[in-house]
Amino acid sequence: MAETDMPSAPRRTAHERQAEVEALFTSIGDGAISTDEFGRITRVNPAAQGILGYSEDELVGTWFPKKIIAVSADDVPTNLIDRPITKAFLTGRPIAEKMFYRRQDGQEIPVSINVSPILLNGKPLGAIEVFRDISLEQEVDRMKSEFISLASHQLRTPLSAIKTYTHMLTDGYMGDLNEAQNKSLSTIVGATNRMNELISTLLNITRIESGTIAISPKLVKLNELVEELMPELELMATAKSIDLKLQLRGKGSTAIKTDALIVKEIVTNLVSNAIKYTPDNGQVTITIRPHRNEVQVEVTDSGWGIPKFSQDQVFSKFFRAQNIVKRETTGTGLGLYLVKGLLDTLDGKIWFHSEEGAGTNFFFTLPRTLPNKKSSSRKKAKA
């Protein structure tokens, strides 16, 4: 219908407009709660009552953060200062987060929250929070992870048979091989190794995403742990005539309480990337620096670098930079996503500097000790 054909809207009274706002609020499919400028609940729609198990009378007039209890993935009640509604009030901006709400019957449900301050001439009048029960999404996520985990485990069995028999062939148990046969076998060995790595990457990612990664902290010396990896890393470096160095800088012990296997996975990933993305005859250096409360590891290479415009995507799932895709076809874009996830689990940090054509420096730090709550597997983390 053309705009000119539209019947002009009848003028509404203030009372009618008020009723319309009420009806709008009530019919929002997600939970919606509004508060005054002090955080006292002024309105609750039926969806919010359904999700939280409270009636409107039980909620209206109460102080939002006290009545509606939010907890973290570890069942710890969220501090007032960390509640999205507080952040929205303090910053004057909309805040989106995922957390758990405790229903009236004590059950905890995962919710996705969007809260916006209501401002009039820049002054806060209150806030409106819209939230959604994401139990079903998390369940689908869990099933997806379980499927990948199951499929990866099942793939391992035939793969280990392939590995055993190719090793028997290369070791000459089935007679001498000619040059062409040897060359084909080494291609098979390389491909099976890559498939093995891919499977363990997928398994680790599903463990991180489902919050079921188990951490076994032990006291380890980081420089000794990296030294143990050197023979395998040197093998990769030598194949490209890359000069690989390990150095310890600064004073103090490199001892930390952490999960040694996870740290090995992190270092192997960063160093193999450095080797892979550096042209032949280049240089890769691993530097370990002990600090007071943490130990830092730096992996520097003289390689192709990461273009500036893609640097903010480096830790995203499946990301591979344009300059690399042209040169190196093998790769999944999962390595750094996994490394970041593993470091988060160990309370570590990661960052990098890179210049295209000059090289890349990746840094990560690990704390001297892990908080106790991290020493076992956790329930589904924030999605």
Concatenating the DSSP letter of every residue in 250-305 gives SSS--EEEE-HHHHHHHHHHHHHHHHHTS-TT-EEEEEEEE-SSEEEEEEEE-S--
**83 lies in the binding site for ligand ADP (CB under 6 A):** no
Q: Which residues pair with 117 in a beta bridge?
A: 127
Main-chain dihedrals φ then ψ at residue 144, nearest 5 degrees: -60, -45
Q: Which of 142, 332, 347, 349 touches ligand ADP (CB under 6 A)?
A: 332
The rounded distance, in Å, linking the Cα atoms of 208 and 213 is 5
Q: Tell the smallest beta-carbon distance from residue 279 to ligand ADP (Å).
A: 11
Structure tokens at 381: 């983390």
**Cβ atoms of 332 and 204 closer than 8 Å:** no
Q: Tell the smallest beta-carbon distance from residue 318 to ligand ADP (Å).
A: 8
The rounded distance, in Å, linking the Cα atoms of 85 and 114 is 9
**Cβ atoms of 364 and 345 closer than 8 Å:** no
Interface pattern 282-311 for ligand ADP (x via CB under 6 A):
-------------------x-xxxx-----
| Window of 48-56, 72-80, 115-123, 333-341 that interacts with ligand ADP by CB under 6 A | 333-341
Residue nearest ligand ADP (C-beta atom): 335
**336 lies in the binding site for ligand ADP (CB under 6 A):** yes
**99 lies in the binding site for ligand ADP (CB under 6 A):** no
Shorter beta-carbon distance to ligand ADP: residue 127 or 274? 274
**Cβ atoms of 249 and 222 closer than 8 Å:** no
Shorter beta-carbon distance to ligand ADP: residue 117 or 359? 359
Q: Which of 51, 127, 321, 381 touches ligand ADP (CB under 6 A)?
A: 321
Q: Tell the smallest beta-carbon distance from residue 317 to ligand ADP (Å).
A: 9
**314 lies in the binding site for ligand ADP (CB under 6 A):** yes
Q: Which of 333, 363, 368, 380 touches ligand ADP (CB under 6 A)?
A: 333
Q: Which of residues 246-275 bind ligand ADP (CB under 6 A)?
A: 273-274
**Cβ atoms of 111 and 117 closer than 8 Å:** no
Shorter beta-carbon distance to ligand ADP: residue 84 or 282? 282
Burial class (CB in 10 A: 0-12, 13-18, 19+), 329: exposed
Q: Which residues in this chain contact ligand ADP in the complex, by CB under 6 A?
A: 273-274, 277, 301, 303-306, 314, 319-321, 324, 331-337, 360
